[in-house]
Amino acid sequence: MAVKLTTTKDQTNFIKCLVYGDSGIGKTTLAKTCPKPLIISSEKKMMSLKNEKIPVALIEDHNDLADVLEKIKNDKKFANFETIVLDSVSDIAETILQYFQKNPKDGNNHAQAPYGWMLDALNPLLKEFRDLPDKHIYVVAKVKRQKDGFTEIDTWMPSAPGKQLGPNLPYLFDYVFAMRKGVTQKGKEYRYLQTDADIQWIAKGTKELNAIEEPHLGKLFNKILNNNKE
């Protein structure tokens, strides 16, 4: 196989990010701040975007997810989408898990449990979505709260079915943001994206980003890309 050479600069034209947080905090609503988004979802209810006209591809299993990926790669009707939104990877994983629980004969290795089949089906697809060369990727995940048995400190991290997928998600993406809620001195609530890790929250960004950013992915994408051009 011929080796294809590129540069790190060529690989930074599009942003691949994961955002996790509590239910109802606004992760789905973030999709409307992305450039020309297409949402891929296994959920039929998207009340937070009921006043928007964002295209949604509904999937029922991993085969549907693979079909959408193929269309994004090869169908000219999908060429105008600039951001692919997986909302959420946690629910998509749960949907695929339920598929294999109902259809165990479709598992590629009968020595595994449905969780293993789910991972085998979903992980390669996630990597293919991440590696799409001409699209931003925004992946939504639920949050898991965990208490350290030694320090008794609560920590928060992306959540998904099983023991492997959730902890592995931050390693798949260049940027991981925690969507959180704050309160001003006057008692007014606001949302923000945490872009830098601390003792309780997993996150990773770049030095160009503030530790706390406005929850607007289009602005964040531009900020990152403009800094990369310098």
pLDDT higher than 60, residue 1 = no
Q: How far is CA 153 from CA 62, 148, 149, 211, in A?
A: 37, 5, 8, 21
Residues 6+ apart with CB under 8 A from 24: none
Instruction: Give the per-residue pLDDT at 129.
Output: 96
For residues 52 and 170, the model is more confident at 170
Strands 212-213 and 189-194: antiparallel
CATH fold, domain 15-229, is Rossmann fold (3.40.50)
Q: What is the pLDDT of residues 40-99, one digit of tens each?
A: 999 876 666 777 789 999 999 999 999 999 999 999 999 999 999 999 899 999 999 999
Q: Report whether 228 contacts 12 (CB < 8 A).
A: yes
Q: Name the token pair of 75.
A: 């169908």
Query: Any bridge partners for residue 85, and if so which?
Result: 39, 138
For residues 208 and 212, the model is more confident at 212
Instruction: Give the per-residue pLDDT at 8.
Output: 54
| Count of all residues that appear for the chain in the document | 230
Strand boundaries in the chain, DSSP class E:
16-21, 37-41, 56-58, 83-86, 136-147, 154-159, 175-183, 189-194, 212-213
Instruction: Give the per-residue pLDDT at 114.
Output: 87
Per domain, the residue ranges of the chain are 15-229
**What is the rounded average pLDDT for all residues in the chain?**
88
Q: Where are the alpha helices (DSSP H) in the chain?
A: 62-74, 89-102, 114-130, 165-172, 217-229
pLDDT higher than 80, residue 113 = yes
- Measure the CA–CA gap between 34 and 218, rounded to whole angstroms: 5
pLDDT higher than 80, residue 2 = no
